[in-house]
Every structure is written in C-alpha cells, then in structure tokens.
Amino acid sequence: MVDTKVNLSGLVLDNPIIPASGTFGFGYEFAEIYDINILGSFSFKGTTLSSRFGNPTPRIAECKSGMINSVGLQNPGVDKVISEELPQLKQCFHKPVIANISGFSVEEYAICSEKIDKVPQVGLIEVNVSCPNVHDGGMTFGTQAESAAEVTRAVKAVTSKPVYIKLSPNVTDIAEIAKACEEAGADGISLINTLMGMRIDLNTRKPVIANKIGGFSGDAIFPVALRMVYQVYEAVKIPIIGLGGISTARDVIEMMLAGATAVQIGSANLINPYVCKEIIEELPALMQSLDINSLTEIIGGAH
C-alpha cells in the first residue's frame, strides 16, 4: 500500500491534491457532483477586505493550450466569507481549508489575515501577492523582494496559522523573492500564479478581454512553473506548493520531484470538473508503477 500523505507546516493532507484559488469557488458547488472530502484540501476563492464586483467583461479568453482570465478578485469580502460562505462549506467539507487572501495595502493584508486566522476550519493562509488582474495592488507587492517581505512580516505578526506566500512568475529572479519571504517569516511558498497574456479579436481588431491583459494559465505554463519550483527549492528550506498547468497524475509526480510538497490544480478544473478526483484515484497506481512507496520520499528528488 502506497502512502500519499504530505505535510504542509504541520497541516497533514491525505494526498497532495489541492484545487487552486479561483477555480473551485467555495467548494460547495463541486460537492454537488462528487465527495470533495477526498481532496487533500482546497484553496478557496481569493478574498479581500471589502466586497469586489471584479473587472469589466469580457473577462475570459481561450488560448490553444490554456486560457486568459481577468476576473479581478470578485468576492463578497472577508466578513461575509466568514459569516456566510465558510459555514455553508462546512456542511460538505470536513477538513481544514486554505484561505487565499489578497489586499491593496499592507494594512489590508494584515486585517484580512487576522480575521481569517480566527476561523477554526482554516488550516493555512495563502497570501496572494501576485494576482495580475488588479491594477492597484497585487502585482506591485509580488514583483519586489522587499515589498513581498513587508507583507509577509505584517501577516505573520497577526496570525498563528501557517502562512504561505503565493508568488508571481512575472519577475526576473523568483528565488530572490522567495528567499526574502522566508527570511521575513513565511512558513511556505506557493508558485506560480499566472503569466501575463492577451488575445486580439481579428474582426474588431481589439483585445478580447476588456482589461486588455490578463492572467495566462493552463497546460502551456507547466514547464515554466516546474522550472521556478525547481529554482525556489534550491533557494529556501520551507515547503513549496507547486502550481501552474498541472492536469495529470504524472504532472503531480514531476512537480514533486522538482521540489513541491503539494500541488494545486487550477484551469484544469474549468475544463474537467472531475480532474482532481481522477488524479487522486490514479495516483496510487502510478506510484506503484514508478516504485514510489511514499510521496514524501520523492520531494525534491530531481535535485
């Protein structure tokens, strides 16, 4: 019998499969089609201090091997997430969940994180300093080492649960930023968020997305994500959640060999809502075929 358990800073998961924030809502929608308790955990929809309607439409553009989105962090705000969304989620998901937090100032990150830290069903806080869809926040913090470290310090000062910083790939040196977050007290790193991309409509001769540029995700970004996880693993000693273009059980193993302790699956959920379930079911047989007894033994195995 193979062992699929992994450990994220004391949060033990039955398996490393985590649906990524923004692609799984608040979970209960997916609970209507399968038992989501088979998941290791999941990262719920990106949450800000105040409610947000998001960016103007159209917000989505298809690509050959992925998609571009510019949703703009549409969410009801942290207080309603705590009072309404999480109690509804608790009816169908009985494991600790990952809270994805965004902000437009260091203070907002801290306030949001402090509020969500008090929720018993939250097991880990994922701080998104890398969302490319909001003009006056995210990207600025995630593209400079000191800014990312400043957010990390502020959040760690008001929380007791593990804090993972979700980093942007749209930088020159991802390892430098990850190292700065580690030195500022981060318990782990999530990477990568989306790359920047766009599409142009040949008929209107204008960008497809109202925001012109959005976050590019899907199969096409997997090699970039894998490379960055590999680089960050060599730069830090804290756990890494790897994400970006993962859609198969083989991708999971490859990402863990690069250095990820767990993985998140994003765009693939929008193509096949059963993808996480299928990967969880396929993983044990794949491990046996590759002579892997425990997933923890292969973390960083390609180094």
- Just list the catalytic residues: 131
Confirm if 13 and 272 have CB atoms less than 8 A apart.
no
Which residues, at least 6 apart from 35, have a Cβ–Cβ distance to it below 8 Å?
none
Written as six digits, the tokens of 3 are 């062992």
In 3-state terms, the chain is what percent helix, strand and coil (to 5)? 35, 20, 45
Closest CA to 230 of 178, 156, 162: 178
**Which residue has 């890398």 as its token pair?**
130
- What length does the chain have? 303
159 phi and psi angles, rounded to 5 deg: -130, 160
SS3 label, residue 139: helix
